[in-house]
Structure 1
Amino acid sequence: MFSQNIATILNQLQHDFDEKATANNQANKGKVPKRKKASRSKDEIRRRQEELYEKTLKEINELLDAYYAVLSRKDAESIGALYARYSSRFQDSIVDQIRTILEEAIRKKVFIPRENVFFDLAIRGWKDRRPGLLALRKKIEAAEIQTFMVFTTSRLYRRTYKALQFVEEELVERNIRGIFVKSNIDTVQGDHWRTIFQALAANDEAQVRIYSSHIQASHEGLFVRQMVHTSLSLGYTGEVVEGEFTRRQLPRRKIVIDPDTARWIVQIFYWYVVDGISITAIARKLNADEDAPAPAKSNTGLWTHKLVRTHIENTEYRGWWQYGAKETKWLSKKDYAHQIPRDKPLKEGQFEELRIIPDDCWYTAQEMIANEAGNSGRKPKDSTSKPRPRLLRGLFVCPEHGRKLAVGGAKACVMLCPNCRFIEVHERPLFTHLNRELALKLTCEHLTDCVRPTDDFVDTILNVLEDYVGLLSQTEPAIVESLQSRADALASTIEFNRRNPGVSEQEQRKTEQLLKELRSEQNEVFAQLRSTESALAVSLQTPSREQIIAFLTATSDLLSQSMTSTDEIVVRNGRRAIESIVKGKIELYQMGERAKSKGWLQGRFLVDVPAYVLQQLTGVRISESSTTNEVVIDYKKSKLINEQSETAKRLWDDGLLHVEIAKQMGCIPSYVTKLIQHWHDQRGLPQPNNKKRRKLLINKQQRTPIYKQIANQVHELMEAGHSNLEIARQTKTSDTNVAKAIRWWHEKRELSVPTAADRRKQKIERALAMLDGGALLTNVATELGYSARGLKLALDKFAKDKGGEKTDFRSRRGNAKSGASANGKDSPSDSDTV
């Protein structure tokens, strides 16, 4: 199976990474182990913030005590407030800012009470909702301050218009004096301060953008050299580069694969692609394993569905790295940053030395994610409610409206088209509701029949595979070129729709859905392209007949099990098999009357089993083969007599008698005859002749006939030369049964049945052999069941037919008595006594 091929590759990768990890551990033995970054939970982050706040507040109180010792409230000319801020958690400049502000406050004779000191730790200046700034605004609105002091314009806001708006509306219009200590701005200086303020604020804003461009350019250079320039995904680490240092004088590091964590990436792909485990179940397994590493960029240290999916979709694991794929934009009205995709990443490239997962495995995973059915719908309110089948979720569609059927009805037992509900009954495309359990049963049964490995079907698959393998070897450049052209066309279509999402909200939703479908198709084409390239890299061999039969048998068993199984892995693998076999969706059409219990739905869909077998056994994907067949299923509950007739006909085809069929079905033989007739009437076939059928059966009786039971014993007695009457006497039966037993014994072994003449000839030849051995005629006759005269006459006739002379039994006997030699000579025992 193709999944087995992927499993082999992933197992080899896992083995390689384990060996590298072991080698690294041995090489680093005795050294100080590298400190691993511990994941921080929300409680730890909150506790760390509280500790930092308490530390900062303690240092501020020490500054204020020294400040109050120099300037008292009665000596001050006004009551003021101050504000300080820094952006990231790697900074710590609040105390320095406040020290400078308090020194200026002493010079200006501004008294700042302890409750009028406001600050924010590690909060960006773009943000408007800051705890310290909000508290300051409340203080201003309460008209409790006369002077406001801050370090520079950039500490207030990063945007020029916001900083100017705050000063104008909150300070100047309320007659509050504003002092920017390091910017040398004081609002009591008339209108001159506005010009300086605007210039400095604009300069601060431009400076941030310049820094951003410089940082991006630096990161691009590091990206090209494969140096660490941002946080690394799980599976990678930094290797120290000797002689190179960062701006903070830390060793520069090169990106390399980390064997300790890369093996877990391989394990995630193995679980998802090979074992068929869901993303949620993978997250649970990772969280339950103490050796599993914490996910990157996780505050809680726990794996979630989103984090596992992000790692599976990460292009870095197939060696494709990007820098600047998204751009961060601040939404002032919403007061938060939003990342939007750029038209093109700032830098991108293929780094094969950083590949962890092969292309065919990665693209297969993307195709599976694109086809992943969502866990939509509500859970049952009561725990005793019977779970509904989800194996075929999203597979049925209404061709009239192009919509998937939705679950509805009492206890969610049916599926229906949402649009058809709002159409008049006599015009409704789908009037009848589809019973979910019935649809599951009939669909899986038909698909199981489609993959049943009959001799003719296996021959057809072998012919298709041989033709395609031969075609692939002859036209491999054309096939790869065709797939590449299709991939390029899909990429152009995706890019066009992404750049033109539409004006209205409805158009944008349609474009979003179209992009999702296009990306799914693109992943499928890429997977087909990579698998074809991998197959061409080695000599592609046609699977053997035994491999095909074993695979079809396993698939048939999987489909049968997935109907009733509650095992999530079995159901997911069954769904994957159905999606691969069925081409497209199952389209439903209304049949019969549009009335309750009168009509039914008919499902029509295409299946392509040879293409599925080729993909799974060789890894080569084809769009379709020449053996694509249409399957038609009538989703209607059959009457009891229809179901019974199907069972009776199946047993009837197995060669069972009506009595035996009746015994298995628990009815009388005459009802079995009625069921067989009903089965043929339903299909317009002529009634079968049971008498003629009985003649053709191997077993024409319910019990084993007597002549079959005694056949071996009869043959032994016949070989001993006994007549039919003598055999009948010994076996306590009639000579008719003896004759039947002889005939059946020979016909069963495909031997000619001996005639009466053959048996007489055999008996005469035996008699001659006994006579040649010196036995008397009377003794031979008694042994063979003849009278002496009868045996003599039979021997004379045999000699006459052969053209020989009759035997003179008197001269042959001589003077010997019974028990002596027939030639008159003494027996060996007698000669010894003379």
Structure 2
Amino acid sequence: MSNSLNGAASAARKNTSQNPQIDPGVPCASYARFSSDLQREESIADQQRKCEEKAALNGHVISPNLEFSDEAVSGTKRHRDGLDAMLAAARAGKFQVLYFHSLSRLSRESVITLPLLKELVYNYRVRIISVTEGIDSNDTAWELIAHIMSIVHEQYLRELSVNVLRGQEGTVLAGLSVGDYCFGYSSEPVSSSEQSPRGRSCKPRKMYVIDRETAAWVGRIFHWFVRERWSLRRIIRELNRLGAPKDHRATTPLWHHQQLLKLLANKKYIGEWPWGQKKNIRDPLTGKIRQEDRSPENCERWTRQLPHLRIVDDETFEKAQELLQKQATLHAPNRKSRGRFAGSSPGSSSHYPRHLLSRLIICGECGRVFNVGGCNGKYLFCPSYDKGVCTCKTTLLRERAERMIIDAIGQRILTNSLWRQRVFEETLKFWREAEAVLPDELAAAQRRLCEVDQKVGNILDRIEAGHGGAELDERLSQRRAEKRHLLEEIDRLQRADHGRGDEPTESWVSTQLAALGDVFTENTPAAAHALRALVGGGITVTEIRRDGHQRHYLQGRFTITSTAIVNKLAGVAGQQSEQAPLASDALAEEIVLDFREAPEIEALSEQAKKLYDDGHMCAEIAKLMGCGRSRVTAMLKYWFESRGMAMPDGRSRRSSLTKKHLIPPRYQEIADEVQKLSSEGLLLQAIANRLGVDRNMITAAIRWWHESQGLPVPDGRTRRKSLEYKGAPKGRNDSELSCGS
């Protein structure tokens, strides 16, 4: 074929030289092109010089205005600026002869080259002349030579592609850079390769390195997305506000949604560097290139494990993928067939809440989620009221509701010893169960992997034996996909096994509960998600109407469980991604909150009730609070009735009090002195005479003294019988008696 080609080209040149077509008045043009930015720009001038020399031999002159060219443009592209301009000039009849260095300058695709030549020759009546290949459309054999040479140039392109892929593959398998590093990384020359560069325009071999400046931004982005639970939009706004740098291939200065998605899904940040996942497919008719996925089996041999290039830990990366998948699932119904959004979902704020109570408050009457409204979004309201399908008119002050809910939960998880003990017990139980199950799960996954490997081997044996087919190919693909899934599962279990923490202690649980309490005080998406998990997904509110009042208030109800708290404790023995099942003996409590500012009497009634429980009399409470006794009675009545309780009878309570008088009566004032004299053996009457009171007061004083000390009251008759003197002897005063009745 090569000999025939050379013979045809030689015959064409001989025919041209024997029958020269010299016509200096014919307008002539030239076209030149080089395809790579690594080539010299002088290549265009060299090609044009060769065309001018050939034109001079033919008695032609090429006008400088008709020298068309394309620089650093592939010959596989149908539309090029210089080529299109040349065709437009030919269509307008501005030249009659076109010179080019070789057919490869016009195109490297035969399906482009031949139609292009025929369009010039037969439609525009242009004579075409190839300088190096001897093609001249005035020669009858020009089409044959053009067909052959176009196929030769096309084959060269295929061989070049194979050679380039071979060279890149060797570099990849050597663990060196092929220019595919992303944001957070860079490359630097390998010192040994700088000494002996080979080849034309050769560059030193390079290795991947972490770029400290941009790697810090990668860590910050994953922290915002996973830990702080920021939305993608918020992260993009913050990156652009801070002027964060972008990838070295970026063509625009600002961050955008698609770039952030690719960054969060990039496995290179955990040390797994794939290569060759896609291959270029070129449309031979248009030269346009599209990318298609290579099969995972073909890509496995090119995937490099480079742990020294890890920027993000596995747990954070896996959590990011989980959040991205949830987001994709959430927005799937709102995307068109090509993946573009058809509109936002009204419930998308639950995935990235903007405040602590986002989509958390539910109307108890109609079941709708409360919307944000009012001045600067300070209130929440039922959207069904404006539509006339719900009677809940009262709005909820968001700041007040957040404060009351956080306070109520904080009282349970931070100050209640019963809750703390139960949370510790469930945490310890869950940790021990995970410790027992994890080795079994790992062993089961490894056994399953061995079975799948054996099945893959069996299928390959059948294919090699000549029994292959579409069905076996499909089964092989399924088994290999199953194997990849098992390898990922084994890797996750092994990391969980190696990263297990120590057994939880009470102090550790206390620290984690305090940290959880701190999370609630932050107005972040992470705090909103934590609150939603603790309250079971929603807080139901009901409008409480008060007769005689124009304004009503909302009452909220939600239940928290000890198991929900356990699931929110960060770092439970390395099992952060796991969820503890609801324990049968889990502690649960329904919390009821009145979302309103407490009226004055409510605060005062709490103060009065505390003094009441401390054993103070109502008159004493009134004196301490600086109000009348009737006001104290009203406060206590309000306290009991607001809680559905009956106020105790005042007389019954008074009888149980140690102090029954605001000003102590006389018998209480003299009780200590009476007891002292009684213990000295004086008669009761003698004590009465000495103190100037009657005998009944002395009896009351003795009784009160013993009762206040928690002692039994002595019987008078029994005491009288034990005395030596039971009456007053003659000649002695009662005051001198040392014994009495």
| Residues 1:691 and 2:649 aligned together | yes
- Counterpart position of 1:240: 190
- Counterpart position of 2:36: 88
Distance 1:639 1:287, change over 3 A: closer
Given that 2:97 and 2:127 are in contact with CA atoms closer than 8 Å, whether structure 1 keeps it comes out as yes
The C-alpha deviation readout for 1:192-217, integer Å capped at 9, x for no partner, is: 33333233323333322332222222
The C-alpha deviation readout for 1:228-279, integer Å capped at 9, x for no partner, is: 2224233342341415645444332333445565455445444544455665
Q: Identify which of 579, 583, 599 aligns with 1:627.
A: 583
| Residues 1:367 and 2:322 aligned together | yes
User: C-alpha displacement at 1:147, in angstroms?
Assistant: 2.0
| Residues 1:223 and 2:172 aligned together | yes
The C-alpha deviation readout for 1:143-181, integer Å capped at 9, x for no partner, is: 222122333333323332122222223442221222333
Q: Identify which of 457, 462, 480 aligns with 2:419.
A: 457
Distance 1:287 1:674, change over 3 A: closer
Distance 1:634 1:754, change over 3 A: closer
RMSD: 6.3
Q: Which amino acid aligns with 1:83?
A: Y
- Counterpart position of 2:728: none
The C-alpha deviation readout for 1:729-774, integer Å capped at 9, x for no partner, is: 9xxxx99999999899x7xxxx7479799xxx9xxxxxxxxxxxxx
| Residues 1:478 and 2:440 aligned together | yes
CA distance in 2, matches of 1:646, 1:170: 100
Q: Which amino acid aligns with 1:90?
A: L
Aligned to 1:299, the other structure's residue is in SS state coil
- Counterpart position of 1:793: 737
**Structure with greater contact order relative to length (CA < 8 Å, sep ≥ 6):** 1
User: C-alpha displacement at 1:102, in angstroms?
Assistant: 2.2
CA distance in 2, matches of 1:653, 1:530: 63
Q: Which amino acid aligns with 1:348?
A: T
| Residues 1:119 and 2:69 aligned together | yes
Given that 2:567 and 2:579 are in contact with CA atoms closer than 8 Å, whether structure 1 keeps it comes out as no
- Counterpart position of 1:189: 139
| Residues 1:204 and 2:161 aligned together | no
Given that 2:608 and 2:632 are in contact with CA atoms closer than 8 Å, whether structure 1 keeps it comes out as no
- Residue pairs, 1:767-778, within 5 angstroms: none
- Residue pairs, 1:71-470, within 5 angstroms: 76-91=24-39, 92=41, 93-190=43-140, 192-233=141-182, 234-243=184-193, 245=197, 247=199, 248-258=201-211, 262-274=215-227, 294-300=246-252, 303-330=255-282, 336-344=288-296, 346=299, 347-371=302-326, 452-453=412-413, 454-470=416-432
- Counterpart position of 1:775: none
CA distance in 1, matches of 2:343, 2:658: 57
Given that 1:295 and 1:301 are in contact with CA atoms closer than 8 Å, whether structure 2 keeps it comes out as no
User: C-alpha displacement at 1:322, in angstroms?
Assistant: 0.7
Q: Which amino acid aligns with 2:264?
A: I
Distance 1:116 1:739, change over 3 A: farther
Q: Which amino acid aligns with 1:691?
A: D
Distance 1:655 1:251, change over 3 A: same
The C-alpha deviation readout for 1:379-405, integer Å capped at 9, x for no partner, is: xxxxxxxxx9566768899xxxxxx99
Structure 2: unaligned runs, 5 residues or longer: 1-21, 332-340, 345-352, 363-367, 452-480, 544-553, 613-617, 680-686, 720-731
User: C-alpha displacement at 1:466, in angstroms?
Assistant: 1.6
User: C-alpha displacement at 1:323, in angstroms?
Assistant: 0.8
The C-alpha deviation readout for 1:567-616, integer Å capped at 9, x for no partner, is: xxx32222442576588x7799999xxxxxxxx9x999998524524544
CA distance in 1, matches of 2:355, 2:436: 43
User: C-alpha displacement at 1:529, in angstroms?
Assistant: 7.6
Given that 2:606 and 2:639 are in contact with CA atoms closer than 8 Å, whether structure 1 keeps it comes out as no
CA distance in 1, matches of 2:247, 2:156: 35
Aligned to 2:28, the other structure's residue is in SS state strand
Given that 2:51 and 2:99 are in contact with CA atoms closer than 8 Å, whether structure 1 keeps it comes out as yes
User: C-alpha displacement at 1:226, in angstroms?
Assistant: 0.5
Aligned to 2:99, the other structure's residue is in SS state strand
TM-score, normalised relative to structure 2: 0.61
CA distance in 1, matches of 2:109, 2:417: 77
Identity over aligned pairs, percent: 19
Distance 1:313 1:673, change over 3 A: same
User: C-alpha displacement at 1:679, in angstroms?
Assistant: 6.0
Given that 1:220 and 1:323 are in contact with CA atoms closer than 8 Å, whether structure 2 keeps it comes out as no
Distance 1:361 1:756, change over 3 A: same
Given that 1:85 and 1:120 are in contact with CA atoms closer than 8 Å, whether structure 2 keeps it comes out as yes
Aligned to 1:126, the other structure's residue is in SS state coil
| Residues 1:541 and 2:493 aligned together | no
The C-alpha deviation readout for 1:424-478, integer Å capped at 9, x for no partner, is: x9xxxx9999999799998997798667414333333222222222223333222
Aligned to 1:118, the other structure's residue is in SS state strand
Structure 1: unaligned runs, 5 residues or longer: 1-73, 379-387, 398-403, 490-518, 563-569, 592-599, 681-686, 762-787, 802-834
Q: How many corresponding residue pairs?
A: 594
The C-alpha deviation readout for 1:759-804, integer Å capped at 9, x for no partner, is: xx9xxxxxxxxxxxxxxxxxxxxxxxxxx9777534x67xxx9xxx
CA distance in 2, matches of 1:280, 1:217: 42
User: C-alpha displacement at 1:318, in angstroms?
Assistant: 1.0
- Counterpart position of 1:552: 513
CA distance in 2, matches of 1:406, 1:167: 71
Given that 2:354 and 2:524 are in contact with CA atoms closer than 8 Å, whether structure 1 keeps it comes out as no
Distance 1:111 1:389, change over 3 A: same
Distance 1:650 1:256, change over 3 A: farther
User: C-alpha displacement at 1:533, in angstroms?
Assistant: 4.1
CA distance in 2, matches of 1:736, 1:194: 143
CA distance in 2, matches of 1:793, 1:714: 20
Aligned to 2:162, the other structure's residue is in SS state helix
CA distance in 2, matches of 1:334, 1:262: 40
Q: Which amino acid aligns with 2:36?
A: S
CA distance in 2, matches of 1:106, 1:735: 150
User: C-alpha displacement at 1:719, in angstroms?
Assistant: 12
Distance 1:693 1:294, change over 3 A: farther
Q: Which amino acid aligns with 1:94?
A: I
Aligned to 1:199, the other structure's residue is in SS state helix
CA distance in 1, matches of 2:138, 2:239: 63
Q: Identify which of 523, 530, 544 aligns with 1:577.
A: 530
Aligned to 1:209, the other structure's residue is in SS state helix
User: C-alpha displacement at 1:324, in angstroms?
Assistant: 0.6
CA distance in 2, matches of 1:705, 1:486: 84
CA distance in 1, matches of 2:632, 2:489: 58
User: C-alpha displacement at 1:94, in angstroms?
Assistant: 2.1
Distance 1:543 1:113, change over 3 A: same
Given that 1:295 and 1:302 are in contact with CA atoms closer than 8 Å, whether structure 2 keeps it comes out as no
User: C-alpha displacement at 1:320, in angstroms?
Assistant: 0.8
Given that 1:322 and 1:348 are in contact with CA atoms closer than 8 Å, whether structure 2 keeps it comes out as yes
